[in-house]
Amino acid sequence: MTTVTLGLSGAVGHDPAAAVFIDGELIAAIEEERLIRRKHAKGELPFHSARHCLQIAGLKPSDVNQIAIPYAPVSLFNKARWHYAYRHWYAPDRSVDSVLNGNRRYRRYRKELNQLLEKLQIRSDKVKIIPVEHQLAHASSCYHLNESSQKTAIFCNDSKGEYSNIFLGYGENGKIVRVKEFYNPDSLCGMYAALTDYLGFDTLDGEFKVMGIAAFGDPNKYDLSYLAHLKGNNFRVDNTLIGTVGLRRYKAKSKGHYFSQKLVDLLGPRRVGNLVDDPYVHYAAAVQKLYEDLAAQLVVHYLSDILQETGRLAIAGTGSMNIRLNQRLQSLPMVKELIVHPACSDSGTAIGAASYAIRESGVKTSAVKNMYLGPSYTTAQCIEACKANRDKPLWEVLENPFEKAAELLAEGHILAWFRGRMEFGARALGNRSILADPTQAEVTGKLNNQVKFREPWRPYSASVLESVADEFAETQTRDKYMCLSVTVSDAWRKKYPSIIHIDGTTRAQIVDSDSSPDFHKLLSCFQKKSGHGMLINATLNRPGEALVCSPEDAVSMFLGTDLDYLIMEDILVRRREEPETW
């Protein structure tokens, strides 16, 4: 009998998503933000994404056998609830509520889930609902979809679950075994988020800016080691400084922050002015170094036996979006193979909860070939999107869109590229991308001025043909998902400065014909035309928006920028010239 598993995320209030498995094969996965056009889709549940996943899979709501959710009840006798209560003793209302009403959020989520299933026309009395602990869902997303006969060490570094935010364990023969967990408020991600907030950014997105600017600072100029420490088996943050709750939180303009007044007294005022100024740029460098040091220490302390045996390390959780940390973990002498889940933030727990439930039933999940898991559209639908747009862009059908794209890119144009199924996860992987020739001297300035409006110190990512990867990077890394920071060879740093950070690294996607045939074809055409097997690859969206999903989204985004051209499936789109006015 065929088993259809629907995985749903969104229990922690952001990044809802849905994923559908038929038996052990992942068929579709979509983030809700892409469909409702609101980044992170805070406060939403994955209604549209679940519906679209079922449509892609050719399934009816009644075909769903089981629903897996990445959130589970926590027993009164579980030390997580008592740890939280003990560590928040200064806020008695939070402590008592944690002990006596610790499943309040889970009960609320189940109520919301029942309402969601009713909207989806899935009868809750006809399906099996499987709650999966949040960190186990993260662990499953990176382990079960990359399962090996060898034992695999697992490190989940996350912001928020039921209570647990750091998971250290291993996978063996399909089973995930806990070695150690740490609970709120003792969180590496929480520490980084608190400094992100202090440095003047919103969490969930601002961490990337802190990570980027860290390379410009001196990590040893200011000592932030008092924020958190690992001594023996005891990892703690100083929650009188960060991760504070209640009346101890620093407040400004009636908004509570993730740190206390005591931290402000130590570091000075919350950032006002330029991030590259002293001391803020050095604080960013210091917290990045502390973050990497503590994560590496945790992995070595708890997982060294497993790593010495097999060398395999799988990582997930929101903290695994930090590509410099991932590079640090890969450089550990014991690590021979690093596996990073491409959608390692909370959206990926839709996949992880489902894969965990499936593996627990005894069915092995199939390895994922790529992350093109969303909807696709025909050329006819792309044409209709152009016709329906009020600005009536010009369009023409192309005989060979790959050759035309390569020609435009070689001429120095910036190109919006829309083809195939939408990517799942935070990275544009060549199906919803903005592309440019990295040899053009002014290309990053044009990208910033025409579309992205990013800080000038932030380099762009690269997509590189597998055939030239050995020349490109100093390591033998074959990262298909832009999950790692890699050190670029000296020769290529000089050739392609637009994609190189100040520390000589970049975030790169290695493109092969097996996992990404269309994008590989485009890169190959560009290589023949220009002699360069690489393109700048940025996400197809405007600042603050979710990645483009549909042709209508793509046309609207294109016309709302100064991009030169848009290729959607087999059509080339241009804007109409404005009539001259006198």
387 falls within a domain: yes
- Same domain, yes or no, for 128 and 216? no
Q: Are residues 441 and 531 in the same domain?
A: yes
**183 has a pLDDT exceeding 90:** yes
User: Quick check: is 63 in a domain?
Assistant: yes
Q: Looking at the structure, tell me whether residues 417 and 289 fall in a common domain.
A: no
Residues 488 and 503 in one domain: yes
Residues 524 and 399 reside in one and the same domain? yes
Strand 432-436, strand 534-539: pairing: antiparallel
**Assigned domain for 566 exists:** yes
Q: Are residues 460 and 551 in the same domain?
A: yes
Give a yes or no: residue 550 inside a domain.
yes
Same domain? 218 vs 324:
yes
- 170 lies in some domain: no
Q: Which of 351, 320, 397 is nearest to 166 (CA)?
A: 320
Rounded CA gap, 461 and 537, in Å?
A: 6
Per-residue pLDDT at 438: 93
Give the pLDDT of residue 91. Answer: 85
pLDDT given for residue 581 in this prediction:
54
Rounded percentage of the chain residues whose pLDDT exceeds 90: 80
pLDDT of residue 1: 81
Other beta carbons less than 10 A from residue 58's beta carbon: 10
Considering 10-14, 259-263, 474-478, the range whose residues carry the highest mean pLDDT is: 259-263
User: What confidence tens digit (pLDDT) does each residue in 301-348 have?
Assistant: 999 999 999 999 999 999 999 999 999 999 999 999 999 989 999 999
More confident residue, 357 or 487: 357
Q: What is the greatest pairwise CA distance in the chain? A: 78
Residue 528 scores a pLDDT above 90: yes
Both 329 and 400 in a single domain? no
Q: What percent of the chain has pLDDT over 70?
A: 99
Average pLDDT value for the chain = 94
243-266 pLDDT, tens digit each = 988 888 999 887 899 999 999 999
Q: What CATH number is attached to the domain comprising 241? A: 3.30.420.40
Q: Give residue 580's pLDDT.
A: 54
pLDDT of residue 111: 95
User: What pLDDT score does 553 carry?
Assistant: 98
Rounded distance, CA 232 to CA 227, Å? 17
Per the structure, the complete domain to which residue 258 belongs is given by: 188-340
Picking from 360, 388, 410, the residue at the C-terminal end of a domain is 360
Domain contains 153: no
| 196 — pLDDT class (breaks 50, 70, 90) | very high
Are 350 and 317 in a shared domain?
no
Give domain status of residue 241, yes or no.
yes
> What is the pLDDT confidence band of residue 29, given thresholds at 50, 70 and 90?
very high
Structure tokens at 434: 């903005």
DSSP state at residue 576: P
Same domain for 301 and 449: no
Residue 416 located in a structural domain: yes
Q: Is the model's pLDDT at 74 over the cut of 80?
A: yes
Residue 566, domain CATH: 3.90.870.20
Least confident of 222-231, 370-379, 421-430, 446-455: 446-455
DSSP 527-573: HHHHS--EEEEEESS-TTSPPP-SHHHHHHHHHTS--SEEEETTEEE
pLDDT band at 578 (very low <50, low <70, confident <90, very high): low
Which tens digits make up the pLDDT trace of 108-158? 999 999 999 999 999 999 999 999 999 999 999 999 999 999 999 999 999
Following CA atoms 406, 411, 413, 416 in sequence, which dihedral angle do they give, to the nearest 10 degrees? -10
Residue 510 has pLDDT above 80, yes or no: yes
Higher pLDDT, 280 or 459: 280
pTM to 2 decimal places: 0.96
Which of 360, 391, 419 lies at the terminal end of a domain, its last residue? 360
CB neighbour class for 577 (10 Å; exposed up to 12, middle 13-18, buried from 19): exposed
Read off the pLDDT band of 476 (50, 70, 90). Answer: low
Tally of domains within the chain: 3
Query: Higher pLDDT residue, 531 or 246?
Result: 531
Same domain for 192 and 234, yes or no, is yes
Q: Are residues 292 and 319 in the same domain?
A: yes
Which of 3-7, 27-31, 158-162, 251-255 has the least mean pLDDT? Answer: 251-255
